[in-house]
Amino acid sequence: MNTPMDRRRFMAFFSAVGLGGTALPAALWALVQESGKITKDMVADAEVLAGLQFTDEERELMLDGLNRNLEAYENLHSVTIPNDVHPALLFDPLLPGRAPSLKRRPTRRTRRAGVQRPANLEEAAFWSVTDLAELVRSRQVSSIDLTRMYLDRLQRYGHKLECLITPTEELAMRQAERADAEIARGVYRGPLHGIPWGAKDLLAEDEYRTTWGARPYEDQIIPYDATVVQRLEEAGAVLIAKLTLGALAMGDVWFGGRTRNPWNVKQGSSGSSAGPASATVAGLVGFSIGSETLGSIVSPSTRCGATGLRPTFGRVSRHGAMALSWSMDKLGPICRTVEDCALVFDAIQGGDGKDPTARDLPFDWDAGLPLSELRMGYYKSAFEVPAGENHRWYDFDHTALDVLQSLGVKLLPVELPDAFPVDALRIILSVEAAAAFDELTRSNRDDLLVRQTRGAWPNSFRRSRMVPAVEYIQANRVRTMLMGAMEAVMDGIDLFVTPSFGRAVLLTTNLTGHPAVTLPNGFQDDGTPVSLSFIGKLYGEADLLAAAKAYQDATGFHLKRPPEFT
C-alpha cells in the first residue's frame, strides 16, 4: 500500500480492533496519512481501549494480517445489507437438551353475555376487547361505526399526545367494511373481528410509510406486510394507525416530538412503545402492538397504566419489524386488560417460516384457571428494598403481595441469579444495534436523529464499535450460564411476581427470553399510575396471563380512565 490511507479505511481499522468512532485521535490520523498503513504504534494505542497488552514482536506479527483485514472490511461495506437480514447465528432461549411443553388443554375465554351498546358509542372507547367483540359479534355495533369513532378520537387527541405518525383511514375503512359484510353473512372470525388497532411504527404495512420514528427513515416504504400485521388482518382486526416510537426504538422522542402520558401530558409516555401505550390508555385504539428489547413494553405500560405482554423470545414472528437486536427483540400486545393481551397474543403467535427464531407451540388460554393450580414465587429481595428514593412504590408492591395471599396464593420466595455481571451483558444489545444500523453510522446520517445526547443511539452506535468481537462472544457465553441459572430459579414454580423494575429483573429476563406481563397497580398522589409485573416460564404465557388476570380482576386498577380523554 503506497498511497495514504483514507479516513474511511482508518475508521474501519479502528472498528475492527475495538476503537471505532468519530472522535479519533488526531495524532494517529496524521500517522496513518504519513505511513499509508497500520503501524505498530497504532496497534499499541488500540490495545489500551481493548484492555490488552502485546509485546513489540507480537505487534509486528499482527501487522500484515491487520492491513489485509482492512481490504476485507471494505469489501463487506460494499455489500448492501437490508435491516431485515438475520445474522447466521441465532439465539435460542432453550438450553440444549430442553424441550418446550407440548401439552394441550381446552381453551376458555370469558363470555360476556348481556353486553349492551352505550347510548354514546364513545363511552365504549375504553372498553376491553372482550366487550367490544360482543358488541360487534351481536351486530349491535358495526365495525365501520367503531372504526369511525376511534379515527375521530385519534384526530382529536393524537396531536395532544403526540402519539400518531400516520392514520391508515383508507385501509381501515376497507377492512371494516369487509368485517361487517362477513359478519352479516354469518362468518365470524373471532374476538378481534372488526376491532380497530394501532401498530408501533416499526411494523411494515405496504400501503403506508414505516418510519421507525426516525428522521432518516421518515419516508420509508417497505413493500410487504409484517407477519403480525398479516395475522391480525386474518383475524379480522382493523388497522387504523401507525403509532409513535422513540427513534429506532429508544425512549419516547421521535422525529415529530415527544409522546405524552395520558395521565399527565406534561410527562413523556416512556418508550419505546410510546404511542401504543399512550393511545391504548387514552382510548384511541382498541388495542395495539408494541415491541421490547430491553423494557420497551414494560416501561411505557408502567408510565401510561396499560397492560402489556412481553412474550417469550421466539413466540411471535418479527418478520417485517425493524431489527434492533436479533437475539433480544420481541413483539407483543399492549392492551387495557390481561385477557385482551391473551386474545391478541393468540392471534399473532407462532412460526411463519420467515423469522428463523419463531416457534409453533400450544397456547391454550384458560381465563378461569384457578390460582390454586399455579405455583407462584415472589422476588423476595426486590420487595425488601426500603421505602424512599430507591423504591417509591414500596407500599404499592407490598399491598399487591397481600392481595395475592388473600386470593389463596402461597407465595414462595425466589432470588434471581447474582453470580454474573448482568449489567455487563448490555453490550450484547448495543453491539447488535450498532450492526443493525452500521450504514447509518458510516454514512453520518445518524446526525439526522433528534436526540444527540451521550445516551442516545448515535453515540451508542459509535461507542459500540469499540467493543471487540471476542468480548461480544464472551458476553454471550456468560449469557448461556445466566440462562442455566435462571432455569434453576424457575424449576420449582410456574411464575413469580416482582416490582416491575426490581433490581436486575428487567435486564435479566430480557436476556434469558422469559415472558412478562406488566399491569397497573395503583395510582400515586399526582394521579399517575404504578405497575406490577409477573414473570413466567419460557413459553408459559397461558399460566402467566391467567395469574395476572386473577390479580387484575381482584384489584380493578385498569378500569380507571385518564380524565382529560374521557
pLDDT at 103: 78
Q: Classify residue 203: in a domain, yes or no.
A: yes
User: How confident is the model over 288-312, as pLDDT tens digits?
Assistant: 999 999 999 999 999 999 999 999 9
Rounded-to-integer distance, Cα 219 and Cα 206, Å:
13
Residue 491: what residue type? D
Predicted confidence band of residue 390 (pLDDT cuts 50, 70, 90): low
Residues 296 and 168 in one domain: yes
Residues 41 and 131 in one domain: no
pLDDT at 112: 83
CATH of the domain at 400: 3.90.1300.10
Q: Is the pLDDT of residue 2 over 50?
A: no
pLDDT at 519: 98
Q: Classify residue 252: in a domain, yes or no.
A: yes
Residues 70 and 219 in one domain: no
pLDDT at 387: 44
Q: Is the pLDDT of residue 107 over 90?
A: no
Q: Classify residue 69: in a domain, yes or no.
A: yes
Mean pLDDT within 150-170:
98
Q: Classify residue 455: in a domain, yes or no.
A: no
pLDDT top residue among 495 and 48? 495
Residues 170 and 39 in one domain: no
Residues 337 and 274 in one domain: yes
User: How confident is the model over 224-265, as pLDDT tens digits?
Assistant: 999 999 999 999 999 999 999 999 999 999 999 999 999 999
Q: If we measure between CA atoms, which residue out of 515, 494, 518, 486 comes closest to residue 415?
A: 486
Q: Classify residue 86: in a domain, yes or no.
A: no
Q: Per-residue DSSP letters for 373-398?
A: GS-EEEEHHHHTSPSBTTBTTHHHHH
User: How confident is the model over 11-43, as pLDDT tens digits?
Assistant: 555 555 544 443 444 445 455 555 568 899 999
How far does Cα 39 stand from its chain's mean position? 43
Residues 158 and 75 in one domain: no
Residues 44 and 136 in one domain: no
Q: Classify residue 108: in a domain, yes or no.
A: no
Last residue of a domain, which of 79, 108, 132? Answer: 79
Q: If we measure between CA atoms, which residue out of 388, 311, 375 comes closest to residue 348?
A: 311
Q: What total of structural domains would you count in the chain?
A: 2
Q: If we measure between CA atoms, which residue out of 396, 346, 352 comes closest to residue 367?
A: 346
**Which structural domain range is residue 327 located in?**
124-361+370-419+475-565
pLDDT at 466: 84
Residues 277 and 172 in one domain: yes
Q: At what angle do helices 7-17 and 56-77 cross, to 10 degrees?
A: 120
What are the CA-CA distances from residue 503 to residues 155, 227, 379, 404 (Å)?
40, 34, 9, 21
Predicted confidence band of residue 46 (pLDDT cuts 50, 70, 90): confident
Residues 170 and 27 in one domain: no
Would you say 287 and 333 are in contact if contact means Cβ atoms under 8 Å apart? yes
Q: Classify residue 133: in a domain, yes or no.
A: yes
Last residue of a domain, which of 47, 63, 79? Answer: 79
pLDDT above 90 covers a percentage of the chain that reads 84
Provide the whole-model pTM.
0.92
Residue 421 per-residue DSSP state: -
Residues 408 and 517 in one domain: yes
Q: Classify residue 190: in a domain, yes or no.
A: yes
Rounded-to-integer distance, Cα 536 and Cα 533, Å:
10
Which residues, in sequence order, are CB contacts of 506 under 8 Å at separation 6+?
A: 294, 295, 298, 500
Rounded-to-integer distance, Cα 266 and Cα 284, Å:
19
Rounded-to-integer distance, Cα 382 and Cα 353, Å:
40
Residues 278 and 224 in one domain: yes
Q: If we measure between CA atoms, which residue out of 350, 354, 353, 409 comes closest to residue 550?
A: 409
Residues 345 and 246 in one domain: yes
What are the CA-CA distances from residue 468 to residues 14, 37, 50, 174, 416 (Å)?
10, 21, 7, 51, 29
pLDDT at 23: 40
